[in-house]
Chain A
Amino acid sequence: MSSAVAKKPLTFQELVFTLQRFWAEHGCVLQQPYDLEVGAGTMSPDTFLRVLGPKPISIAYAQPSRRPADGRYGENPNRLFRHTQLQVILKPPPERVQELYLESLVAIGIDLAQHDIKFEEDNWEWPVGGAWGVGWQVMLDGQEITQFTYFQQCGGMDLDPISGEITYGLERTAQFLQDLDRIYDIVWSRDPITGAELTYGDVRLHEEQQFSAYSFDYADVPSLWKHLELYEAECKALLAKWPDIAEGAIKFEELVEAGGKTYSNSQVLRFPTLGAYELALKCSHTFNLLDARGAISVTERVGVMARIRNLIVGVAKIYAEQQRLTALPGLTTA
């Protein structure tokens, strides 16, 4: 097929570099992908937890996202068990953030005058995280390449300031740039000396084949249920320890209002909310595996989702309170 894109399009890895460089140049901290299974870049604590509270942050990272039920054994040209999102969080979003986003498209070689671009309404909701936002899907010549969301709530709490989230679907964007019908044909890298190309299929096809088989055929259902229960139990036990720790700090807060003293907040600082969140993420991924395995019955489904929601929303509430308490004036870490 003849390419309509004149210059040699970016390889997959150049696409990642270029977007990361672009956002770094616009003030983003570049974070590495989160090293746990997540279903979307949003679930990384760098998004889900950092959007809570008043502290501004601009952060970007490429997040591999696992969706066991979406696996197709590598046989479907457009569907993956694990895809990669480039996630950008801008808290608060700068004015004319859409223009900034469009500049990032120019940076990856898209001449806006030669394409049809539209922002079509697409709102986002993650009930298990008590989270929702409004925004758009960005359509480029009929292809959805980006989700653009203004977060409104997380963990059931109103966000102030809100965050702008830009999620690029990297495979789709690369397919668009390279004008390809199959994800597996995407050129992942090109040897600068020999010009030899490695494709997405070369790099990742075996993962798709094996993880599809694992999620659909091999994963041991009784063990998964046990994992789920263990992760849940530990997460719950952790969350239950928070109120006592918070109490001391809250009492101190009252003291500060009354006259002011110093107080060691090391217990508050060190409370492992992030650890609890990882356990909740493990539950979520285990649930997805069970779901892909067809092991969750109707009656169980709603109940298990409510259990995971309790964990995730519970973590978010504690995280927000912890942030507030550790930011109190007069606290020391001694």
Chain B
Amino acid sequence: MPDFLLEIGLEEVPARMIASAQAELLKRTLALLTREQLIASDPVAHSYATPRRLAVFIQGVLEQQSDISEDITGPAVKIAFKDGLPTPAAEAFARKSGVAVADLRTISTPKGDYLAATTLKRGRTAAEVLASELPKEISALYWAKNMRWIPGSNEKFVRPVLWLVCLLDDSIVPIQFAGQTASRSTYGHRVLSTGEPFDIVAPDSYLAQLEGEYVLADVELRRQKIRKALDKITRQIPNARWREDEALVDAVTHLTEWPDVLLGNFEPAYLELPEEVLVTVMRDHQKYFAVEDAHGKLAPHFLTVTNIALDEINTPIIKQGNERVLRARFNDARFFWEFDQRVPLTDRVALLENVTFQKDLGSYAKKSERVRTLAAKLAAIATSRGATMDANAIDTAATLAKTDLTTELVKEFTELQGIIGGLYAASQGLSPTVADPIYDQYLPASSKDSIPRAAEGQILGLADRASTIIDMFSLGLEPTGSKDPFALRRAANSVVRILAESNLPLTLTDVLNSAMPTSDDLLAQLQIKKSLGNIPVFFAERIDFYLREARGQAYDVVKAAMAAGTNDLRDLVARSEAVTAMRGSEDFLAVSAAFKRMKNILTQAHAKGDIPSSIVDHDFLLDPAEKLLAVTASAAASAIEELQAERNYIEALRVIAALRPSIDDFFDKVMVMAPGDDLRANRLALLTRTLNDLSRIADFSEIVTAG
């Protein structure tokens, strides 16, 4: 069985796009070979990638599809033969099938006798199939950003394609893509190799041949090489370690074909600048790794991953160049740090008039006012429920929160907004209850971040996001499909997380109602109401996302728990976790099934025009089984109420599960849809009451039960 190799040679592919394209190319190639029945049952498949190439190597490709014999049906015998002689219809069919008339068979069908032929469909060779199908797979690869470069053609790819290698064992499969025809010719490292193309002998020599030309095509090997080199070089400094940064390791892995690591230094005087600024300069702007001492404090060194082998001659040159660039960057940062401090944050509030928040919503000055008002409302509600926080600090923090947008440092390092504000606030003598909320205001920015540290920061974070969401929705700028230009989903995720993971005694309704704009103009008010109509669904989606993604709850548990209310998010989390803990028990599943049955009965009753009340006439309960259910369910309801107040949901669910015998008994013995109207109404009322009483933790009918 031949080995297969595909290599697409490209101008430098953006690092962020390589990993997914590499995986997709392998997936598509394997899918194609599988679909075309050109692959052994136990193939060995690898994919490789560097900035200048994507490659797939597969062992166990079949040389040829097997031939398939196929029965085809032709014309009816009575048309095909006249007087025992074949008519033109029979001859035409024989020709089409590639057999002699004498070899045609007759088959009987319910519609009569027909002619039939067995034809052999020749399997195509792997080379034929690949040449015709593989280019389609390559061109279907997803790229976050594409380009055109071929004159007169609308063909798009991530960057210009420079060469293609496509081999089945040692023979070329001359596939064509993006103006190139595959050969066995490839290129090595841009500088370390000769620059001349060289031939890949066979697929299984690919990796070794490339390595001979200074290209380490295996991504994992390259990553390991980088990590080892980082470790090794850091050992030159006593007690130091490089600061782990998986995303950065990933980025430099995809920026190099032949990586090496160089240690550089900077003047310790720069360590007076905030570590956040230094690390951002190194990591985001220069792709340098930071080095820290034994206490985790930043040390005056950096590590850069080069795309060239380092030696005694080039090391000092490259080191000096990188050190000079970093010095310039740090100088800039220091200049900005000192320059910005000449105008303290408190004097920058007025400057926010000149910073646009959104064109229809005006400046950040207006935005800050709205956040202040909302934060004050939320703080008042939380305080009235016993929370302690510094309302004045929240107000000051909300007033100053966006002022760092006017600083040079944030203009230079936009990713540090908020953090810079917090640092300036602290350096300008504001208390930590003001500085920390400013510092934390954009937390959590991703699922990996934690929420703001203290209540003041949590309130500010809620107020900032909630006001943005409500403002954007009022303008009709809500997210649609994959479009979410104002990152409102992320903002809502943060609202959900802060409410669910903080100790603030606030509900989602508290937040949204407080954020709701009011207008004296009745028409305007109606318009606002209308545009905010999608807010509940929008938040329900975010809550559902949070419970599933961050809390790992199954979708039916999430649905069940959310059906019992999404207002108090900490409560919702506790309820859904209890349901998850209990859903394994047999009694619980049985009760869930019973709830489904109750719900179905009530739905059908509705459809027939029986509108059940929830008031049960206990004197009219006739059957002992229904009496028992009424008594046990009502006792359970009061027990659950008490347990719910303590958030002891596991115990509450045990109480519900314990109802199983009386529920089973009820369904065994009682006919709900009884002929007598009053009797039926009372039984429906009993079911309604039971469902209502017991569905305050979750709608158990949503739980998926086997069978």
Given known A-B contacts A121-B14, A136-B12, A299-B362, A116 and B151 have beta carbons under 8 A apart? no
Give me the 10 closest cross-chain CB pairs, A-B, nearest first. A141-B321, A121-B14, A119-B12, A116-B306, A142-B322, A161-B151, A142-B325, A4-B317, A298-B356, A114-B314
Q: How far is the CB of B499 from chain A (nearest CB, A)?
A: 32
Given known A-B contacts A115-B314, A118-B307, A298 and B328 have beta carbons under 8 A apart? no
Is B148's CB under 8 angstroms from A95's CB? no
Is A294's CB under 8 angstroms from B16's CB? no
Is B325's CB under 8 angstroms from A298's CB? no
Name the residue among B15, B304, B325 with the largest chain A CB count within 10 angstroms.
Answer: B325
Contact with A along B6-49 (1 / 0, CB 8 A): 00000110111000000000000000000000000000000000
Judge whether A297 is part of the interface by a CB distance below 8 angstroms.
Answer: yes
Given known A-B contacts A121-B15, A150-B147, A160-B151, A176 and B51 have beta carbons under 8 A apart? no
Q: Which of A264-318 contact B (CB under 8 A)?
A: 294, 296-299, 301-302
A-B contact pairs, 28 of them (CB 8 A): A4-B320, A76-B332, A76-B335, A77-B331, A95-B162, A98-B11, A112-B191, A113-B308, A116-B262, A116-B306, A118-B307, A119-B11, A120-B15, A121-B16, A133-B147, A134-B145, A141-B317, A141-B321, A141-B322, A142-B326, A143-B324, A162-B148, A162-B151, A179-B324, A180-B324, A181-B327, A298-B354, A298-B362
Interface residues of B (CB under 8 A from A): 11-12, 14-16, 51, 145, 147-149, 151-152, 159-160, 162, 190-192, 195, 255-256, 262, 286, 288, 304, 306-308, 313-314, 316-318, 320-322, 324-328, 331-332, 335, 353-356, 359, 362-363
Is B328's CB under 8 angstroms from A77's CB? yes
Is B151's CB under 8 angstroms from A92's CB? yes
Judge whether A152 is part of the interface by a CB distance below 8 angstroms.
Answer: yes
Contacts of A162 in B (CB 8 A): 147-149, 151
Judge whether A123 is part of the interface by a CB distance below 8 angstroms.
Answer: yes
Given known A-B contacts A136-B12, A142-B304, A298-B353, A179 and B320 have beta carbons under 8 A apart? yes
Name the residue among B190, B317, B332 with the largest chain A CB count within 10 angstroms.
Answer: B317
User: Residue A115 contacts which of B12, B317, B363 (CB distance < 8 angstroms)?
Assistant: B317
Judge whether A33 is part of the interface by a CB distance below 8 angstroms.
Answer: no
User: Residue A302 contacts which of B51, B331, B359 (CB distance < 8 angstroms)?
Assistant: B359
- Cα(A76)–Cα(B408), bound, Å: 13
Q: How far is the CB of A52 from chain B (nearest CB, A)?
A: 14
- Cα(A175)–Cα(B190), bound, Å: 25
Contacts of A320 in B (CB 8 A): none
Q: How far is the CB of B412 from chain A (nearest CB, A)?
A: 11
Give the number of chain A interface residues (Cβ < 8 Å).
49
Q: Which of A40-96 contact B (CB under 8 A)?
A: 76-79, 92-93, 95-96
Is A78's CB under 8 angstroms from B332's CB? yes
Is A78's CB under 8 angstroms from B328's CB? yes
Is B353's CB under 8 angstroms from A297's CB? yes
Contacts of B15 in A (CB 8 A): 120-121
Is A123's CB under 8 angstroms from B145's CB? yes
Contacts of A331 in B (CB 8 A): none
User: Residue B318 contacts which of A116, A161, A179, A297 (CB distance < 8 angstroms)?
Assistant: A116
Is B354's CB under 8 angstroms from A142's CB? no
- Cα(A92)–Cα(B11), bound, Å: 16
Judge whether A250 is part of the interface by a CB distance below 8 angstroms.
Answer: no
Q: How far is the CB of B191 from chain A (nearest CB, A)?
A: 5
- Cα(A142)–Cα(B152), bound, Å: 37
Interface residues of A (CB under 8 A from B): 4-5, 76-79, 92-93, 95-96, 98-99, 102, 112-121, 123, 133-134, 136, 140-143, 150, 152, 158, 160-162, 175-176, 179-181, 294, 296-299, 301-302
Contacts of A102 in B (CB 8 A): 190
Nearest to B363 among chain A residues (CB) is A298
User: Residue A176 contacts which of B147, B286, B321 (CB distance < 8 angstroms)?
Assistant: B321
- Cα(A299)–Cα(B357), bound, Å: 10
- Cα(A140)–Cα(B324), bound, Å: 12
Q: How far is the CB of A47 from chain B (nearest CB, A)?
A: 18
Contacts of A117 in B (CB 8 A): 190-191, 307-308
Is A152's CB under 8 angstroms from B318's CB? no
User: Residue A152 contacts which of B148, B288, B316, B331 (CB distance < 8 angstroms)?
Assistant: B148
Is B255's CB under 8 angstroms from A141's CB? no
Contacts of A5 in B (CB 8 A): 317
Contacts of A298 in B (CB 8 A): 353-356, 362-363
Nearest to B305 among chain A residues (CB) is A116
Is A78's CB under 8 angstroms from B331's CB? yes
Is A115's CB under 8 angstroms from B318's CB? yes
Is B313's CB under 8 angstroms from A114's CB? yes
Nearest to A138 among chain B residues (CB) is B12
Contacts of B152 in A (CB 8 A): 160-161
- Cα(A117)–Cα(B11), bound, Å: 14
- Cα(A55)–Cα(B514), bound, Å: 61
Contacts of B262 in A (CB 8 A): 116
Contacts of A296 in B (CB 8 A): 354
- Cα(A143)–Cα(B285), bound, Å: 10
- Cα(A115)–Cα(B304), bound, Å: 13
Q: How far is the CB of B331 from chain A (nearest CB, A)?
A: 7
- Cα(A162)–Cα(B308), bound, Å: 32
User: Residue B307 contacts which of A4, A116, A136, A160 (CB distance < 8 angstroms)?
Assistant: A116
Is A115's CB under 8 angstroms from B321's CB? yes
Q: How far is the CB of A111 from chain B (nearest CB, A)?
A: 9
Is B359's CB under 8 angstroms from A114's CB? no
Q: How far is the CB of A105 from chain B (nearest CB, A)?
A: 11
- Cα(A132)–Cα(B149), bound, Å: 14
Contacts of B317 in A (CB 8 A): 4-5, 114-115, 141
Name the residue among A113, A121, A296 with the largest chain B CB count within 10 angstroms.
Answer: A121
